[in-house]
Amino acid sequence: MADVISIPENIFYIIIAVIALVAVIVVLMQWRKVREAQSNVQFLEKQAQLRKIELVEKDLENKRMMENALPLPKEQQERLSTIRKSTSELMNHTGYLHSEINERVTHLEARTEYLKLQKLLQEIEKKEQELDKQSKKTIKDDDVQAVKGIKGVKP
């Protein structure tokens, strides 16, 4: 028969108590972590609210300053309008030049590709001619061999 190991009743209760104590400690540690996380979330929410309030205050202040802006003298307004006009003209000219550059780059890329393809074609034609010469030579040799074979002449 199998020997059954028996544990005294007191030791059994002690083992159960230790397991329960470890479980309680683990639960308390997890509960503490959850509480810390909740307080961190609340703190971050309050910071976000304060940041929103700060942004709204800045926005209102900027709006107020825009409304209370001092009008520029006529001469400065004219200079400002000429600066804006010249800036827009420069931007348009820059855009035109940029498109021209892109078009020329595309053209050069196409031309380069075309030259590469032409060079490859020439190389292929040269190899084709060489192969034709070799095949004609072998055909002539075969014909000579065939003729010699018919006449009974051995090489």
pLDDT of 53-92, one tens digit each? 999 999 999 888 777 766 778 888 889 889 999 999 999 9
| pLDDT above 60 for 151 | no
Cα separation, 145 vs 147, in Å, equals 5
The residue ranking higher by pLDDT, 147 or 87, is 87
Q: Model's pTM, two decimal places?
A: 0.37
Tokens 């800045």, residue located: 58
∠ CA(88), CA(91), CA(95), 5° rounding?
140
| pLDDT above 90 for 19 | yes
Cα separation, 96 vs 89, in Å, equals 11
The residue ranking higher by pLDDT, 26 or 72, is 26
pLDDT of 57-66, one tens digit each? 999 998 887 7
DSSP secondary structure letter of residue 119:
H
